[in-house]
Structure formats: C-alpha cells, structure tokens
Chain A
Amino acid sequence: QKEVEQNSGPLSVPEGAIASLNCTYSDRGSQSFFWYRQYSGKSPELIMFIYSNGDKEDGRFTAQLNKASQYVSLLIRDSQPSDSATYLCAVKGGGSYIPTFGRGTSLIVHP
C-alpha cells in the first residue's frame, strides 16, 4: 500500500514568514512529486511539481525533494493571508496513471 503522509495542521504562521510544509512517502519507486493548493470549497490547483533531488523554485514557492529520505517539502516565502489554504502532496511512480495523495496540511497565515 503506497502511503503519503502529511501533518494535518493547522500550521499557523505570521504574515511575511516562511511556511514549511512537509510530506513523506513510502514507495521508493516514486518518481514525480506534486504540490496542490486547495482553498476551502474549491478544487485543488497545481502549484508545482518536482522529480529531481534538490530544490526547485517558482516565485515565492520552493519545492525540495530528498529521495534518499523519502520526503518532499514546500516552502512558501513571504507568506500572505491569501496563502491560507490546504496544501496537498501527491506522489506518482514511473509508468503509473495514478498519483497517491496525502490528506493535506492546513496553512493559516495571520496578519
């Protein structure tokens, strides 16, 4: 059974701080890793994906992947109240149609 674990939170950070969201996965054959943002009552929206070890930056977002330790993280710099949402981690193995989703971490950015 492939598992993707996330702390449900809520993670509360002040505006302007760095929010760090973590995700661990059980399948060592996993090759693709995705972060989605989901506002309350809305559908998940893709933020970024990563498939190589190391960091990948996109604006205020940085995804970090460590395959040896089987974790992937998302850093949000200069957090804004509009970043308040649930963040879903998804992991996919090579050649697989189906990603495995974590249950998400709730982030609250307070002014």
Chain B
Amino acid sequence: DVKVTQSSRYLVKRTGEKVFLECVQDMDHENMFWYRQDPGLGLRLIYFSYDVKMKEKGDIPEGYSVSREKKERFSLILESASTNQTSMYLCASRTGTSRTDTQYFGPGTRLTVL
C-alpha cells in the first residue's frame, strides 16, 4: 500500500514564525503536491513538484515556499506565518501522469496560527 506521512497532525504557531511542514512518501512517486483545505473553499493547490529539485506554483503560492531535495520528501515552508494561513494542509503523491495514475493523500496537518 502507498504510504504518505506528514510530520505533524496538529501544529500551533505564532504569527511571524517560520513553519516547516514535512511530507514523506514511500512508493518512489515522481509527483508530490501540497494543498490547503478550508471550509467552503475546497482543496486548493499551493505547490507541486514533478521531480527532485523541480517545483511549480499552484493556485495559491503566495506566502509559501517548497523544497524537494530527495524524491521521497517534499517540504512546505511558511516563511512568516500569518493568521490567514490557519488551515488543514494536505500532502499528496502520485506516480506520473498516465490516466490510471492516482493521487494518494497523507493524513493532513491542522495548523493554527495565533
């Protein structure tokens, strides 16, 4: 079974702090994604990576950066956390782009910024 893990299930940070969210997948997937999910707004793509050291902006990249130094690990960085970044953050991974490739999600990190 595909396993996607995230470093924390719950996280509380202060405004202005630098926050690191880690995601690890164990299936040698090429593509990895970071989403945030808010009530009424659905899943919104922040960044994705299609290979090591490669990244692309998603729909809402402002205030975030990412790092992918190893294939299995994709990190989301909040450079200076703000209260409007309080959200559920979901990492996902997928093998490739063929029509049968499916996306698998990690358990999520619920981040609260005070």
Contacts and interface: CB of A to CB of B under 8 A. Distances in A.
B50 interface: yes
B100 A49 contact: yes
Interface residues of B, number: 25
Nearest to A45: B105
B99 interface: yes
A31 B85 CA distance: 33
Contact of A43 (B45, B102, B107): B107
A53 to B, nearest CB: 13
Contact of A31 (B31, B94, B99, B105): B99
Contacts of B105: 36, 43-45
Of the four ranges (under 10, 10 to 19, 20 to 34, 35 or more), the interface on chain A belongs to: 20 to 34
Given A42-B108, A97-B50, A104 B99 contact: no
Given A43-B108, A103-B41, A92 B99 contact: yes
Interface of B: 31, 33, 40-43, 45, 48, 50, 56, 58, 90, 94, 97, 99-108, 110
A21 interface: no
Contact of B102 (A41, A49, A102, A103): A49
Interface string A36-65: 100001111110010100000000000000
